[in-house]
Structure 1
Amino acid sequence: METLKKDVTRGGQFLVKETRAEDVFTPEDFTEEQKMMLESVREFVDREVWPHKEQFEKKDYALTEEIMRKAGELGLLGIAVPEEYDGLGMDFVTTMLVCDYISGATGSLATAFGAHTGIGTMPITLYGSEEQKKKYVPKLATGEWFGAYCLTEPGAGSDANSGKTKAVLTEDGKHYLISGQKMWISNAGFANLFIVFARIEDDKNITGFIVENDPENGITLGDEEKKLGIHSSSTRQVFFNETKVPVENMLSERGNGFKIAMNALNVGRIKLAAACLDAQRRVITEAVKYANERIQFKTPIAQFGAIKLKLAEMATSAYIDESAAYRAAKDIEDRIAARKAEGKSHSEAELKGVEEYAIECSILKVAVSEDCQNTTDEGIQIFGGMGFSADTPMESAWRDARISRIYEGTNEINRMLSVGMLIKKAMKGHVDLLGPAMAVKDELMGIPSFDTPDYSELFTEEKEMIGKLKKVFLMVAGAGVQKYGPQLEEHQQLLLAAADILIEIYMAESGILRTEKNAKRFGEESQKEQIAMAKLYLYNAVEKINTSAKEGIAAISEGDEQRMMLMGLKRFTKYTNLPNAIELRNIIAEKVTAENKYCF
């Protein structure tokens, strides 16, 4: 297979291994089939969803259900489902692409789609027995049935394994009786099937069950929740009162529920990042159109430097987010293909493929959800007073974006997870952090080079800077591990600072590699604005990393050691040729205002 010929980097290895531009996948690499899929999804959304944007703010749950059924008729709910279960059996990148473009118009549909195709369907596809798959997956793949995922409880949010819902085996051994309360259940109002997590006896870990929704079987729903955003997404509590579930509806093995939940969340995290991409594109396009039309002091506000700054930063974050999301998606796809080539089943290959890149999934979830929130916030600001009005699309976009920082594990949890998982990988020998960290320590003790490198080639200095930023992470995280050892996870603020460094490295590198690859094949002039965005993002990343690293260094060192690390930080974050951020922003802003849309 051609995809396996490239130099595949394992999850987390981006930190210690240089990735070549030709080895990353970019949206410019979409196949003709993927481009056709993109256009059909965008056409579906423009026809069925965008014109009804106002209706989604009126808690029209029936509208969401109706559009989900139409999506099912088009096969969009079964993109990731194997063909033998009535799905389309598409590759991982295509599943990302569909999730991306179906989610941009409204958070209500994005939530319903994500909850159904991801955590509502995938646990059965990946963990179900053959009988369970044949019985339930075709109905879910076609939209005949809708799924929901019952994990969260009033006392068990981020600590998912602490749930109190009980499953008791009946005397005849044929059923489990499930009793408990689940909350924040997306799609609950129209779900035919629930993936429910409950504890059997005093098991250490919870167990997963497939539960058909039958009100006469001890299942009752709470009222629709009153929420800040995603108004037409059905969100209700679900109560189980000795609900009878056949023993054959246990999902996977007893006590395997926590593992199922965590792996479902890994997939959910990268898909959530995808779901925030077109939301950003649409907000940027609306903001550009308004800025071009809005005249103040006899000038379109798009011509003012303060607005150019906003448009450029918004476009840059969208471009970088897209670069990183599809880079990781293709890495996962290649890992899945490698597993299948080894003879693994579809479900086992997909599970291991996504699990391999769990660090990148957490990074993307955090970065893209926060960029999406910032983009909608700046969208309101560009609209000014009109942006605060519910008559413009910015207000609902801002409210809908807010939940993405909470979904699939809060951003705080995901920040700490990304660093924690990386350290665990290092301890297992999957990523060599110790060698590079010791090398950085030796470098700090040595005399720095004062040679001026040749920066005549595109991105030579930027790629050197990325390498130095990786040293910053190794320096801070290495010192943290050395000082606290296994107790490092108790120092959450230090982990958060380290995570921010890690996130900015991955995102900045993704943008540079995408742009370098495209500049080589399409010519630098055709990538003028993309080059500006890659450079601008890195410039911003250096500033953020500087701040986070100083915080970390102050927390873990003092005296001579601290002075040495601060000198190292200064060395590792110093440009030879400081970018002109204002000029870069103007290049980007002038392109989007000329095109009157997000155009990359």
Structure 2
Amino acid sequence: MSTQTEEKEILRGGQFLVKETACEDVFTLEDLNEEQRMMRESTVEFVDRELWAHWERFEQKDYAYTEQCMRKAGELGFLSIAVPEEYGGMGMGFVSTMLVCDYISGATGSYSTAFGAHTGIGTLPITLYGTEEQKKKYVPKLASGEWFGAYCLTEPGAGSDANSGKTKAVLSEDGKHYLISGQKMWISNAGFCNLFIVFARIEDDKYITGFIVENDPENGISLGDEEKKLGIHSSSTRQVFFNETKVPVENMLSERGNGFKIAMNALNVGRIKLAAACLEAQRRVTDEAVRYAGERKQFKTAIINFGAIKSKIATMATNAYVGEAACYRAAKNIEDRIALRVAAGNSHAEAELKGVEEYAIECSILKVAVSEDVQETTDEGIQIFGGMGFSADTPMESAWRDARISRIYEGTNEINRMLAVGMLVKKAMKGHVDLLGPATAVGEELLGIPSFEAPDYSELFAEEKDLIARLKKVFLMIAGKAVQTFGTELEEHQQVLMAAADILIQVYMAESAVLRAEKNAKRQGEDAQAAQIAMARLNLYEAVDIVIRRGKEAIVSFTEGDEQRMMLMGLKRFTKYTNQPNVAALRELIADKVAESGGYNFD
């Protein structure tokens, strides 16, 4: 098969909205090869031994233990998964890097933050944008855990608006150094890092510039006290102050003024990996909740037998299952796109940059969806534990607090919602995703007479897939009309954008779950996959409710009269079930399967 043919068969970012995907074309956790399964096992073993067994230490602000565990991870190779072999790494594919990030992050948010900050935004900017000299000098030390990295972007007045930073870089009189002065805040790993990726503005440049800065207190670098935080207690988070810090000109990262681009592309990678980092937390919280519910008796019965508890366990398991389906679907798409670019002659760095950038929409979707699911899962975990869940003597309380930061990291969920829709519209304008044709077709369908012929839903997931296709029409109807109404001022109508984003998110997540369950049912049989099928159906049922609510909010917010009535009728038509699922029965089936397995175990 030629590279050109392969490229045609791999959907571009955002095309899931307008093209049908066969279940055989998605990657799932069940598709891991033997090497990846062994890697997962070794990661889980490390987490159980070094992290989960000592979760109390992380709650006691034992920063030294976080650093110690990071060094052990370096010795075992976990910090080098994504680093090319020529710079001391393992050079593994994107799916494998997601896998390690996923399973190493479940025991404590403190360690997850330290790991993600180092392997992601602390190392990747150099591997992707550094010169050959910079890579050879710094990346092997970062890959081995000899050195640790941190990322200095956020400032007191520059959070979501990253390019508005005030930190300055002034060229020295001899032209050999830049003198950096400014204040950075919320810097993860600041207390024990050896190297900072720092963003500063040169003169009155429109865009900031990136620099590699070695951490030397005698070179004008000082740190604030450790921040007092709601969660991630043993993640070192401090302010960093630069006072005419001398940085060799050869330590500029990429080109002058390219810092904003570096920051945004680093965030794309960070978003999908943050979603992965929320998965194992959900699995472990679910496992703990199932164990406790099986032991805790009320009215002479284990509470796991109560319908109210089963409903919660079903929700927790479904959240994890859907998140897994969507995260690994997107990860394999990125890995395949990287492979295509390498085959076409791109360098590894360029291929990875463009490969991830292609799926920036999906990265934002995943970041929002999974970060909100982990919050719900940990909240339900506390509820199942009851009073004990509120106690700091159990890991539920800390899991809930640690989960909260994930909705702020890597761009707030509000920012990412608007980005997802905004990037999709821009892709359409560039001709990368055909939204106009499908949106026009939906408009014509609204004016036509609906078919009253009964559809054939005899095949597994036939109705669900038809319903997902109609949910896509809801997004096209609303987004198309919003673009037509607001034009270039669309970004100013944030509430409409947020509602449209929620519909887009539900479409991608629901489709991913259905495709995963369908693929597994085809290869293992429907009976063997009954719980997976139930989770896909339960999630879709709840997704439809969200689409109805958010769709109505959007429609009544910017339309009126006959146009509004027509769109509301379209919303009703596109979200109509022929055969409503028995939701209580689905939850019972899922919860019973989880209880029987002793926890979450679906791959």
TM-score (norm 2): 0.99
1:180-210 deviations in whole A, cap 9, x for unaligned? 0000000000000000000000000000000
State the distance in 2 between where 1:108 and 1:491 align. 36
The 5 A counterparts of 1:281-292 are 281-292=283-294
User: Structure 1 stretches (4+) deviating beyond 4 angstroms?
Assistant: 1-6
Tell me the number of residue pairs that the alignment of Structure 1 and Structure 2 aligns.
Answer: 600
Map of 2:61 onto structure 1? 59
Map of 1:575 onto structure 2? 577
Map of 2:39 onto structure 1? 37
SS at structure 2 position matched to 1:25: coil
The 5 A counterparts of 1:229-268 are 229-268=231-270
Map of 1:278 onto structure 2? 280
Indicate whether 1:399 and 2:406 are aligned.
Answer: no
CA contact (8 A) 1:26 1:326 kept: yes
CA contact (8 A) 1:479 1:556 kept: no
State the distance in 1 between where 2:302 and 2:484 align. 56
1:85-120 deviations in whole A, cap 9, x for unaligned? 000000000000000000000000000000000000
Opposite residue 282 of structure 1, the aligned amino acid is R
Opposite residue 364 of structure 1, the aligned amino acid is L
Specify which of 137, 140, 143 is matched with residue 142 of structure 2: 140
Q: Which moved more, 1:193-202 or 1:552-561?
A: 552-561
SS at structure 2 position matched to 1:231: coil
Opposite residue 60 of structure 2, the aligned amino acid is K
Opposite residue 346 of structure 2, the aligned amino acid is K
State the distance in 2 between where 1:102 and 1:599 align. 17
The 5 A counterparts of 1:446-485 are 446-485=448-487
How much does 1:7 deviate? 2.2
SS at structure 2 position matched to 1:526: coil
Specify which of 347, 361, 364 is matched with residue 362 of structure 1: 364
- Structure 2 unmatched runs, 5+: none
Map of 1:211 onto structure 2? 213
How much does 1:454 deviate? 1.3
Map of 1:520 onto structure 2? 522
Indicate whether 1:75 and 2:65 are aligned.
Answer: no
Specify which of 226, 229, 249 is matched with residue 227 of structure 1: 229
Map of 1:25 onto structure 2? 27
How much does 1:489 deviate? 0.3
Opposite residue 534 of structure 1, the aligned amino acid is A
1:264-306 deviations in whole A, cap 9, x for unaligned? 0000000000000000000000000011111001111111111
SS at structure 1 position matched to 2:191: helix
State the distance in 1 between where 2:594 and 2:346 align. 46
Map of 2:118 onto structure 1? 116
Opposite residue 179 of structure 2, the aligned amino acid is L
State the distance in 2 between where 1:440 and 1:578 align. 24
Opposite residue 109 of structure 1, the aligned amino acid is Y
State the distance in 2 between where 1:40 and 1:400 align. 24
SS at structure 1 position matched to 2:182: strand
Opposite residue 343 of structure 2, the aligned amino acid is A
State the distance in 2 between where 1:585 and 1:76 align. 37
State the distance in 2 between where 1:476 and 1:171 align. 57
Indicate whether 1:388 and 2:390 are aligned.
Answer: yes
Map of 1:439 onto structure 2? 441
Residues 334 and 147 of structure 1, relative CA distance in 2, 3 Å threshold: same
The 5 A counterparts of 1:288-437 are 288-437=290-439
Specify which of 592, 596, 599 is matched with residue 597 of structure 1: 599
State the distance in 2 between where 1:381 and 1:281 align. 16
State the distance in 2 between where 1:596 and 1:71 align. 29
Opposite residue 351 of structure 1, the aligned amino acid is L
Indicate whether 1:588 and 2:590 are aligned.
Answer: yes
State the distance in 1 between where 2:597 and 2:331 align. 29
State the distance in 1 between where 2:395 and 2:191 align. 26
How much does 1:599 deviate? 1.4
CA contact (8 A) 2:7 2:340 kept: no
State the distance in 2 between where 1:413 and 1:512 align. 28
How much does 1:322 deviate? 0.4
State the distance in 2 between where 1:390 and 1:467 align. 45
State the distance in 2 between where 1:7 and 1:325 align. 20
Map of 1:7 onto structure 2? 9
State the distance in 2 between where 1:291 and 1:162 align. 50
1:449-504 deviations in whole A, cap 9, x for unaligned? 01111111100000000000000000011110011001010000100000000000
Opposite residue 261 of structure 1, the aligned amino acid is A
Percent same amino acid among aligned pairs?
80
Map of 1:174 onto structure 2? 176
Root-mean-square deviation (CA), in Å? 0.9
State the distance in 1 between where 2:53 and 2:8 align. 43
TM-score (norm 1): 0.99
State the distance in 1 between where 2:542 and 2:495 align. 21
1:402-424 deviations in whole A, cap 9, x for unaligned? 00000000000000000000000
State the distance in 2 between where 1:134 and 1:431 align. 39
State the distance in 1 between where 2:581 and 2:569 align. 22
1:358-398 deviations in whole A, cap 9, x for unaligned? 00000000000000000000000000111000001100000
- Structure 1 unmatched runs, 5+: none
State the distance in 1 between where 2:262 and 2:596 align. 48
How much does 1:596 deviate? 1.7
State the distance in 2 between where 1:547 and 1:135 align. 54
SS at structure 1 position matched to 2:590: helix
Map of 2:109 onto structure 1? 107
State the distance in 1 between where 2:28 and 2:600 align. 17
1:204-225 deviations in whole A, cap 9, x for unaligned? 0000000000000000000000
State the distance in 2 between where 1:5 and 1:532 align. 34
SS at structure 1 position matched to 2:27: coil
Opposite residue 420 of structure 1, the aligned amino acid is G
State the distance in 2 between where 1:305 and 1:566 align. 35
CA contact (8 A) 1:314 1:375 kept: yes
